[in-house]
Amino acid sequence: MSKNKASVIGCGRWGTCLAWYAATKTKIGADGVLLYGKSEFEDYRQLAKSRKNSYLTLPKNIEMTDDLEKALSVPLVIISVGTQVFRTLCKEIAPHKNRLKDTIFLLSMKGLERGSAKTVSEIWGEEVGCGKLAVLAGPGHVQDYLSGTPTVALIDSKSDVKIKLAHELSSPLIRMYYGEDFIGTQIGAALKNVVGITAGILDGLGWQGLKGGLIVRAPVEVGRYIKARGGKAMSAYGLAHLGDYEATLFSAYSHNRMFGENFAKGEKQATDRLAEGYYTLKAVHESSIKLGVEMPIIAALYRAIYKGADIKKEIAALFRRDIKSEFK
């Protein structure tokens, strides 16, 4: 067993930030933090060599490793990889599962798997199915954390491990809350990225005034979808979804918002891993049809981004829908 109390799997911008946070702002960082990545990837090699990236310099109590077994030999494992590659990572972890029964795993990514619309906890259950599982959600950007801007976040699970983690990971920089809807927290966190793309489109069209309507109407249909998936509709109004809107719908740091803005301006762009909402959009649209859930904003966005429909016409069509109460 490693002397460290925590490790972070994934050394991208978010994973590196979480390692920095755990190592410098929390009690669990007193014994150091392991940061795992694959040595065949350039981002790992550069970080291991220089101990810095575009955002931060690693403190001395962060140890980098490309040994997965070592990264799994701690009480708390925080995972920060793209949702679309998470199943592959789970398959790599699975051979070690016999000794992971008591390990706490905190999943920090936000998205639904393309093709299946599975949440990250569902993927984990299918591929690994052991350990004490929790998810991290809520607002915040790497740049804000590093500048010392205080914020809040949400930890959710099916057990009391969420309370333990909320206490261990809270600090003057991030106040942690614990949630009450494991599935709803994950879906809300995933779909806020899709709403962020929509907000970016409004920015690109110069229609920022419509963001107010988007902020009110999007949680209504997201809540319907959460309920259809077995969660609580009100979770759409919590920290995982509505509480993350400022960081996702307005911030210059939001990759999903920027993706939408560039799309509206007709600027060619790669549907890269940072615009997670791009993949979640397709997954939730297809899933909502199967479940019979009405999601007009999602449907309009899907037609524009995946089918080439004119986004202005799609927005105009939303205005021609039947008049109804604002919360229906």
Half-sphere exposure of 134 (CA within 13 A, CB side): 27
SS3 content of the chain, % helix, strand, coil (to 5): 55, 10, 35
- Which pLDDT band, with edges at 50, 70 and 90, does 31 fall under? confident
Tokens found for residue 14: 């978010």
Distance between CA atoms of residues 196 and 259, nearest Å: 9
Q: What are the angstrom distances between the C-alpha of 209 and each of 199, 203, 206, 214, 274? A: 10, 9, 8, 9, 26
Per-residue pLDDT at 2 exceeds 60: no
Average pLDDT score over residue span 161-172: 96
Tokens found for residue 153: 């976040």
Tell me what the pLDDT averaged over the chain comes to.
Answer: 94
Per-residue pLDDT at 272 exceeds 60: no
Angle, CA of 156, 58 and 175, to the nearest 5°: 30
Per-residue pLDDT at 261 exceeds 70: yes
- Which pLDDT band, with edges at 50, 70 and 90, does 224 fall under? very high
Per-residue pLDDT at 226 exceeds 80: yes
Per-residue pLDDT at 170 exceeds 60: yes
Distance between CA atoms of residues 46 and 53, nearest Å: 8
The pLDDT value recorded for residue 1 is: 45
Secondary structure letter of residue 80 according to DSSP: -
For the chain, what's the residue count?
328
Give the predicted TM-score (pTM) of the model. 0.95
SS3 138: coil
Q: In terms of DSSP bridges, do strands 6-9 and 33-36 run parallel, antiparallel, or are they unpaired?
A: parallel
Distance between CA atoms of residues 60 and 79, nearest Å: 21
Residue % of the chain over a pLDDT of 70:
97
- Which pLDDT band, with edges at 50, 70 and 90, does 323 fall under? confident
- Which pLDDT band, with edges at 50, 70 and 90, does 29 fall under? confident
Distance between CA atoms of residues 229 and 14, nearest Å: 28
Average pLDDT score over residue span 243-264: 95
Q: In terms of DSSP bridges, do strands 104-107 and 76-79 run parallel, antiparallel, or are they unpaired?
A: parallel
Average pLDDT score over residue span 289-315: 96
Tokens 């979770």 identify what position? 235
Q: 36-40: which pairs have CB atoms within 8 A and are 24 or more residues apart?
A: 36/7, 36/8, 36/9, 36/10, 36/11, 36/64, 36/65, 36/66, 36/67, 36/68, 36/70, 36/71, 37/10, 37/11, 37/64, 37/66, 38/66, 39/66
Instruction: Report all structural domains of the chain as residue ranges with CATH numbers, in order of start.
Output: 6-178 (3.40.50.720), 184-319 (1.10.1040.10)
Per-residue pLDDT at 240 exceeds 80: yes
Per-residue pLDDT at 152 exceeds 80: yes
The pLDDT value recorded for residue 197 is: 96
Average pLDDT score over residue span 309-315: 95
Distance between CA atoms of residues 204 and 262, nearest Å: 7
Average pLDDT score over residue span 180-205: 97
The 10s digit of each residue's pLDDT in 76-101 is 999 999 999 999 999 999 999 999 99
Instruction: Report how many helices (DSSP H) and strands (DSSP E) the chain contains, helices first.
Output: 14, 8
Give the per-residue SS3 of 253-278. Answer: CCHHHHHHHHHHCCCCCCCCCCCHHH
Secondary structure letter of residue 295 according to DSSP: -
The pLDDT value recorded for residue 274 is: 62
Per-residue pLDDT at 259 exceeds 50: yes
The pLDDT value recorded for residue 30 is: 81
- What burial class does residue 101 get, using C-beta atoms within 10 Å of its C-beta: 0-12 exposed, 13-18 middle, 19+ buried? exposed
